[in-house]
Amino acid sequence: MSFHKYAKCLLAILLISVGLSQSPFKALAINNNSMEVFIGSGHVQTYEQVTVPVALHNVSKNVAAYNMQLDFNPADVEVIAVTPNYGTSGSQCYNSDSSCFDSRYSNNEGWIRAMWVDESGGNNLISADTQLFEVTLKVKNGHVSQPLTIDSTKAANLLFTDDEINPISVAVKNEEPSVNKGLYMESQAVQAGQTITVPLLLESDIKPVALQFDVQSSSALAFKGVQNSIINNELTIESHMQSNGITRVLVGSSSNKEIENGEVAILQFEVDDNLSSDEILQATLNKIKMADKSGLEKNYSEQSATFTIKKNTNANLSQLSLSGVVFNEKFSPNTLTYSSKLLTPPNEPIEITAIKADNKATISYKLNDTSASEAIIPVPGKNKIDIIVTAEDGTKTTYTVNLIVGLKGDADVNGKIDLNDWVAMSHFIVGKKTPSVQAKWNSDLNDDGEISLGDWVSLANRLLEQ
């Protein structure tokens, strides 16, 4: 290689490396005869891969080097690979007959950077229309809001030089990849033991009047059936589970009405109850066929959706009762406060029966703000019984029973008020007898903590009113 060519090559590499924004060249106006970088399209279904070619068209000058940055939305697509079609990667590229290619990409920031240079000093120039490289993408979403693009307003993103190290005016022609999913479901998070409804969605490049597909799901995700969507409620839906456990579904109408893109039907699945959080289940639509009004059939690739088990949020009770206690309110999972009264103290501990709506939840108890078990011994007077349900994800619900034990004025604790109570209270006041804890609470009519003359008079007034 001559020194002149070698110097040109080194200069081209330098320009590629630092970018046009730091070079002495200015961006040139693009005319209709300019060479163009053509970003091809790919026909792909969601969750599948597509290979997008990047080529140089309308080549009118020898190209000795290029540098370009392609941008994409990482929420829509993921770069799997960048493969050179003209140029060789690696340290031995200078021995190849297409010179040296290098690339980098970031799936976090959404860019691809590609560089090529004729290391031969002029023997491997690009002098005709050439496919430069191809990008393998995985499509994440149904609609690619930002396909591969080049922001040519930033000079460093698009730099081509000729064999004299002069910049070449290059335009960009971008063809948006078409994404066609056919029939599909969207992945979602679900709870164990839950019956879920999953919209069946249509995105077709034809105008179908009839659909056919099979539904297959993992054993812990039982397919329960398909029903009409509110949106497309005039369609006829037939389904049958075959001997292999796969359900075949047919959708259409006798009028051969075109089925619009969007929600077509509702699929129902039942999630197994004995699953741990973060387990992943899968349902698949396969053998997808569509037919238009002419009867022309078109097949589509299978589509899968994943259902990730999330921790259950259900912190409700399905049943609550206390032995020997009748609530004033009817039980409901959404009613959190109950009240009741016992005229006399129970002869044995009160048993709490609390049945949780979700078996992964836990239950704890408190009596008057102190930890307790499901067998409680209430105190005379006011009692606050809390039943705390904690869901698998930590959500808490507290059911409270306000229970009063005793009857004010019933000094002899027999469940009724009569003259004997007035006599018993007089014995307590003069110290002739010592009241039990329950008798003391019953006799303390003014709730001052003592059995006093005022309580005795109040009891007499109550007896006179009977």
Q: pLDDT tens digits, residue range 8-36?
A: 444 444 444 444 334 333 333 334 457 99
Distance CA 224, CA 221 (A): 9
Distance CA 190, CA 257 (A): 34
**94 — pLDDT class (breaks 50, 70, 90):** confident
Residue 412 lies in a domain: no
462: number of CA atoms within 13 Å, CB side?
19
Parallel, antiparallel, or unpaired for β 236-241 and 65-71?
unpaired
Residue 162 buriedness (CB in 10 A; 0-12 / 13-18 / 19+): middle
pLDDT at 144: 55
Residue 103 lies in a domain: yes
Number of structural domains (the chain) is 4
On whether both 283 and 135 belong to a single domain, the answer is no
In 220-322, where do the E strands start and end?
221-228, 236-241, 247-252, 262-271, 280-291, 297-300, 303-310, 317-322
On whether both 289 and 306 belong to a single domain, the answer is yes
Distance CA 260, CA 251 (A): 13
On whether both 289 and 300 belong to a single domain, the answer is yes
Residues 55, 131 contacting (CB under 8 angstroms): yes
* Residue range of the domain that includes 370: 317-405
Parallel, antiparallel, or unpaired for β 43-44 and 178-179?
parallel
Distance CA 465, CA 132 (A): 105
pLDDT tens per residue, range 116-139: 999 888 899 999 999 999 999 887
On whether both 258 and 110 belong to a single domain, the answer is no
**44 — pLDDT class (breaks 50, 70, 90):** low
On whether both 66 and 157 belong to a single domain, the answer is yes
Three-class SS state of 417: coil
Looking up residue 389, the CATH number of its domain turns out to be: 2.60.40
pLDDT tens per residue, range 158-211: 999 998 989 999 999 877 555 566 899 988 999 888 899 999 999 887 899 999
Distance CA 221, CA 225 (A): 12
